[in-house]
Amino acid sequence: MSVAQTAETEAIDYSELNRIIEEDYGNDQENLIMILQAIQRKYNYLPGAALNYLSTKIGIPLSRIYEVATFYSTFSLQPRGRNIISICLGTACHVRGAERVKERITENLHIADGETSEDMRFTLESVRCIGCCSLGPVVKINEDTYGRIAPDEVDKILDQYE
Amino acid sequence: MKIQSVKDLEQISQLYGKKLYAPEGIKVNVGMASCGIAAGAQAAYDKALEAYPDGKGVAICQTGCIGFCEEEPLVEILSLGKPRVIYHHVTEDKIVDVIASYQAGEFNKKQIMGQMRDPRSVLEDGVENPLADVTPIDGIPVFEDNPFYSSQVKVAMRNCGYIDPDSIEEYIARRGYVAFLNALQDMQPAEIIEVIKASGLRGRGGGGFPTGIKWATCAKHKGQRAIICNADEGDPGAYMDRSILEGDPHSVLEGMLIAAVAIGSSNGYIYVRNEYPLAVKRLLTAIRQAEEYGLLGDNIAGSDFSFHIKISTGAGAFVCGESTALMASLEGKVGRPRAKYVHTVEKGFRNQPSNLNNVETYANVPAIMLKGASWFAGMGTEHSKGTKVFSLVGKIKNTGLVEVPMGISLRDIVFTIGGGVPKKKVFKAVQTGGPSGGCIPERFLDLPVDYQKLTEVGAIMGSGGMIVMDQDTCMVDVARYFVDFLKEESCGQCNPCREGLKQMLEILTRICDGEGREGDIELLEEVGSMMQKFSLCGLGTSAPNPVLTTILYFRDEYEAHIRDKKCPSGVCKNLFHYEIDPEACTGCRMCFRKCPQEAISGEKKKAHSIDQQLCIKCGICYDVCKFNAVTIR
pLDDT digits (tens, 9 = 90+) for B295-308: 999 999 999 999 99
User: Most confidently modeled of B43-57, B180-194, B224-238?
Assistant: B180-194
Asked if residue B295 lies in contact with residue B169, where contact means CB atoms within 8 angstroms, the answer is no
Residue A72 to residue B316, Cβ atoms within 8 A: yes
Pseudo-torsion of CA B17, B23, B28, B30, nearest 10°?
A: 0
Q: Quick one: which of B595, B632, B601 has its CA closest to B616? A: B595
Can you give the pLDDT at residue A1? 40
DSSP string, B127-140: SPPTTTTSPPPTT-
Can you give the pLDDT at residue A93? 87
Q: Is A59 on the interface with B (CB under 8 A)?
A: no
Q: Is the pLDDT assigned to residue B526 strictly greater than 50?
A: yes
- Cα(A52)–Cα(A2) distance, rounded to whole angstroms? 12
Residue A135: its chain B contacts at CB < 8 A? Answer: 35, 38-39, 69
Pseudo-torsion of CA A78, A79, A83, A89, nearest 10°?
A: 0
Can you give the pLDDT at residue B462? 86
Can you give the pLDDT at residue A6? 46
B349-403: per-residue pLDDT in tens?
999 999 999 999 999 999 999 999 999 999 999 999 999 999 999 999 999 999 9
Q: Is the pLDDT assigned to residue B30 strictly greater than 80?
A: yes
Q: Quick one: which of B164, B167, B191 has its CA closest to B179? A: B191
Query: Mean pLDDT across chain B, nearest whole number?
Result: 94
- Cα(B372)–Cα(B508) distance, rounded to whole angstroms? 50
pLDDT above 70 as % of chain B = 100
- Cα(B629)–Cα(B633) distance, rounded to whole angstroms? 12
Residue A74: its chain B contacts at CB < 8 A? Answer: 274, 315-316
Can you give the pLDDT at residue B55? 64
Minimal Cβ distance to B313: which of A37, A94, A150:
A37
Pseudo-torsion of CA B507, B512, B515, B519, nearest 10°?
A: 50
Mean pLDDT of B513-537: 96
Name the 3-class secondary structure at B243: helix
Helix (H) or strand (E) holding B61: strand B58-63
Q: At what angle do helices B249-263 and B189-199 cross, to 10 degrees?
A: 120
Q: Which amino acid is at B322?
A: E
DSSP string, B342-396: S-TTTS-GGGS-EEEEEHHHHHHHHHHHHH-HHHHHTSB-SS-BSEEEEEEEES-
Helix (H) or strand (E) holding B183: helix B178-186
Q: Quick one: which of B179, B267, B265 has its CA closest to B219? A: B265
Q: Where are the alpha helices (DSSP H) in B187-248?
A: 189-199, 211-220, 240-247
Give me the numbers of helices (H) and strands (E) for chain A, helices first please: 8, 4
Distances (CA, A) of B282 to B32, B232, B296: 11, 16, 16
Mean pLDDT of B578-604: 92
Minimal Cβ distance to A151: which of B38, B467, B618:
B618
Q: What is the 3-state secondary structure (H, E, C) of B572-627?
A: CHHHCCEEECCCCCCCCCHHHHHCCCCCEECCCCCCCEECCCCCCCCCHHHHHCCC
Residue A36: its chain B contacts at CB < 8 A? Answer: 315
B465-478: per-residue pLDDT in tens?
999 999 999 999 99
Can you give the pLDDT at residue A9? 58
Minimal Cβ distance to A72: which of B236, B317, B330:
B317
B244-289: per-residue pLDDT in tens?
999 999 999 999 999 999 999 999 999 999 889 999 999 999 999 9
- B230 - beta bridge partners? B271, B358
Can you give the pLDDT at residue B363? 98
pLDDT above 90 as % of chain B = 85
- Cα(B362)–Cα(B257) distance, rounded to whole angstroms? 9
Q: Which residue of A has its CA nearest to B422?
A: A96
- Cα(B361)–Cα(B203) distance, rounded to whole angstroms? 6
| CATH superfamily name and code, A83-159 | Glutaredoxin (3.40.30.10)
- Cα(B233)–Cα(B272) distance, rounded to whole angstroms? 8
Can you give the pLDDT at residue A3? 44
Name the band, by pLDDT with cuts 50, 70 and 90, for residue B496.
very high
Q: Quick one: which of B617, B592, B611, B614 has its CA closest to B603? A: B592
Can you give the pLDDT at residue B336? 93
B396-435: per-residue pLDDT in tens?
999 999 999 999 999 999 999 999 999 889 999 999 988 8
Q: Is A24 on the interface with B (CB under 8 A)?
A: no
Query: Could you state, in order of their start, the residue ranges of all structural domains in chain A?
Result: 3-71, 83-159
Residue B393 to residue A138, Cβ atoms within 8 A: no
Minimal Cβ distance to B331: which of A30, A131, A134:
A30
Residue B38 to residue A132, Cβ atoms within 8 A: yes
Q: Quick one: which of A48, A109, A51, A53 has its CA closest to A81? A: A109
For chain B, list the domains and their CATH numbers.
18-143 (3.40.30.10), 177-375 (3.40.50.11540), 387-470 (3.10.20.600), 475-562 (1.20.1440.230), 577-632 (3.30.70.20)
Q: Is the pLDDT assigned to residue B503 strictly greater than 50?
A: yes
Asked if residue B326 lies in contact with residue B271, where contact means CB atoms within 8 angstroms, the answer is yes
Phi, psi of B308 (to 5 degrees): -125, 145
Q: Is A150 on the interface with B (CB under 8 A)?
A: yes
Do the strands B84-87 and B112-116 form a parallel or antiparallel pair, or are they unpaired?
antiparallel
The distance of A30 to chain B (nearest Cα, Å) reads 4
Question: What's the burial of B556, exposed, middle or buried (CB within 10 Å: 0-12/13-18/19+)?
Answer: exposed
Partner B, chain A 62-121, Cβ-Cβ below 8 Å: 64, 67-68, 71-75, 89-97, 100, 103-104
Partner B, chain A 31-50, Cβ-Cβ below 8 Å: 31-34, 36-37
The distance of A130 to chain B (nearest Cα, Å) reads 6
Can you give the pLDDT at residue B525? 97
Give the other-Cβ count within 10 Å of A58's Cβ.
Answer: 18
Minimal Cβ distance to B69: which of A71, A94, A134:
A134
- Profile chain A (162 residues) by mean pLDDT over runs of 10 residues: 48 93 96 96 94 96 97 93 92 85 91 92 90 86 88 88 90
Residue B335: its chain A contacts at CB < 8 A? Answer: 71-72
Q: Which residue of B has its CA nearest to A101?
A: B618
ipTM: 0.90
Minimal Cβ distance to B35: which of A74, A97, A135:
A135
Q: Where are the beta strands (DSSP E) in B226-360?
A: 226-231, 267-272, 308-313, 354-358
